[in-house]
Amino acid sequence: MGKVEVAYATPKKQLILAVPFQSELTAEQAIMESNILQIFPEIDLSTSSVGIFSKPCKLDTPLREGDRVEIYRPLIADPKEVRRQRAEAGKVTKKGARSANN
C-alpha cells in the first residue's frame, strides 16, 4: 500500500509523518490521520496555509500517492520589509567602511 507524508517544522523541530494512501484522500484528511495536530497543538488549520511539495493548495485538495502535505507557519516578519532593512544596513556599513578607509 502507498503512502503520503505530512510535514511541519518549527525553528527547533521538524517532523514528517507517513499516512497510508487511500483513493480520494484530501490534504485535510491526511493531516487529521497523521495526528500531527496532537504533536503540535499550536497548528490552527483555519489560519495556517498548506501546500503539496511547496505549492499552495486548499485543504480539500485530493492527494496522489507519494504526495507530501506541508503545513506552513505564519510569517513573523514581512519579507519585503526584512530585505529593505538589510539593504539599509548594507548602505550604512558601506558608507562607514568607505569613510573609515579615507
Domains of the chain with bracketed CATH: 3-74 (3.10.20.280)
User: CA–CA distance from 62 to each of 31, 37, 44, 67, 90 (Å)?
Assistant: 12, 20, 20, 10, 46
Distance CA 102, CA 16 (A): 54
Predicted pLDDT at 2: 93
> Over the stretch 54-93, which tens digit does the pLDDT of each residue have?
999 999 999 999 999 999 987 666 778 778 888 888 765 5
Give me the chain's average pLDDT, please.
Answer: 87
Q: The whole model's pTM is what?
A: 0.73
Calculate the CA dihedral of residues 30, 33, 38, 43 and round it to 10 degrees: 20
Say whether 57 sits in a helix, a strand or coil. Answer: strand
